[in-house]
Amino acid sequence: MSDQPFTPAEERERANRARRMITWFIVFAITMFFAGLISAYLVSMSGGYWTRITMPAPFLWSTVLVLAGSLTIQLAVSSVAQGRTKLTLPLILATLGLGIAFTASQFKGWKQLVQIGITWSPNQVLAIGGEYGADFVLTKDGAPLVPADGHWYKSDDLAREHPLDAEIAEQRDRTGPYLYTLTIAHVAHVAFGLLSLVIMAFMALVKRYSADNHVGLWAGAVYWHFLGGLWVILFLFLKYVH
pLDDT digits (tens, 9 = 90+) for 207-223: 999 988 899 999 999 99
Q: What's the whole-number mean pLDDT along residues 153-178?
A: 90
Nearest to 126 by CA among 164, 75, 73, 177: 164
Average pLDDT across the chain, whole number? 91
Q: C-alpha angle 230/77/236, rounded to 5°?
A: 15
Could you give the CA distance from residue 135 to residue 95 in angstroms, rounded to a whole number?
A: 32
Task: State pTM to two decimals.
Answer: 0.89
Domain ranges within the chain, ordered by starting residue: 8-39+56-129+174-241
Could you give the strand order of the β-sheet that contains 151-154, starting from the edge strand earlier in sequence?
49-53, 136-140, 143-148, 151-154
Q: C-alpha angle 46/47/48, rounded to 5°?
A: 145
Residue 82 phi, psi (nearest 5) = -95, 5
DSSP 149-165: TTEEEETT-TT--S--H
User: Residue 197: CB partners within 8 Å, gap ≥ 6?
Assistant: 73, 92, 95, 96, 99, 220, 224
The correct CATH number of 8-39+56-129+174-241 out of 1.10.3720.10, 1.20.120.80, 1.10.580.10, 3.10.180.10 is 1.20.120.80
pLDDT digits (tens, 9 = 90+) for 165-174: 999 999 998 8
| CA 151 and chain centroid, separation | 37
Q: Which helix (H) or strand (E) holds 117?
A: none
Residue 16 has pLDDT above 90, yes or no: no
Res. 3 pLDDT band, cuts 50 70 90? low
pLDDT digits (tens, 9 = 90+) for 98-123: 999 999 999 999 999 999 999 988 88
Three-state secondary structure call for residue 39: helix
Three-state secondary structure call for residue 51: strand
